[in-house]
Amino acid sequence: MYRKIVVAVDIAQLEKGERILRKASTLLDEGGTLLLLNVVEDIPGYLVSDLTVDMMVKARQESEETLIDLRARMGIAAEIEIREGSPAREILAASEERGADLIIVASHIPDLSNYFIGATADRVVRHAKCSVLIDR
């Protein structure tokens, strides 16, 4: 069905990541590619002075190790990419750079400001240039 799928995984909600990776593998055409993507969020400016560069490096390493473990545990071939920044912006950028024809993202239980889907998922849906699957 799809040749290039971006699977955006929040390592804080790994069980949802497993579910969407499993779903992605069933939707992928033979010979297609999966990208497991995690975005390490920007640190607010008022906290930057209190945090060291090592903390950001460690966060990236932890994200990569978690995705490598997820990929191995699930036995699904996928590329891994870790980005820094706004999750929605980076998910959209990765999908455009890779020419993705599907983005899969899990939605958290939203608050009143994002009643139907979470903030990141909401932004991805509104701005994506390809199909988006939101897993609840």
Q: Domain residues of the chain, as ranges?
A: 2-135
Question: What digits encode the pLDDT tens for the residues 49-72?
Answer: 556 667 778 989 999 999 999 999
The mean pLDDT of 25-42, rounded to a whole number, is: 95
Question: What digits encode the pLDDT tens for the residues 103-133?
Answer: 999 987 655 555 555 688 989 999 999 999 9
AA identity, residue 128 = A
The Cα–Cα gap between 70 and 36 comes to 10
- Contact in structure between 13 and 108 (CB atoms under 8 Å): yes
By CB atoms closer than 10 A (0-12, 13-18, 19+), residue 102 is buried
Structure token digits, residue 107: 């939605």
Whether pLDDT at 9 is above 70: yes
CATH number for the domain whose boundaries are 2-135: 3.40.50.620
The Cα–Cα gap between 95 and 98 comes to 5
The Cα–Cα gap between 42 and 102 comes to 25
Long-range contacts of 22-26 (CB under 8 A, 24+ apart): 22/74, 22/76, 23/104, 23/133, 23/135, 24/76, 24/102, 24/104, 25/74, 25/76
The Cα–Cα gap between 25 and 20 comes to 9
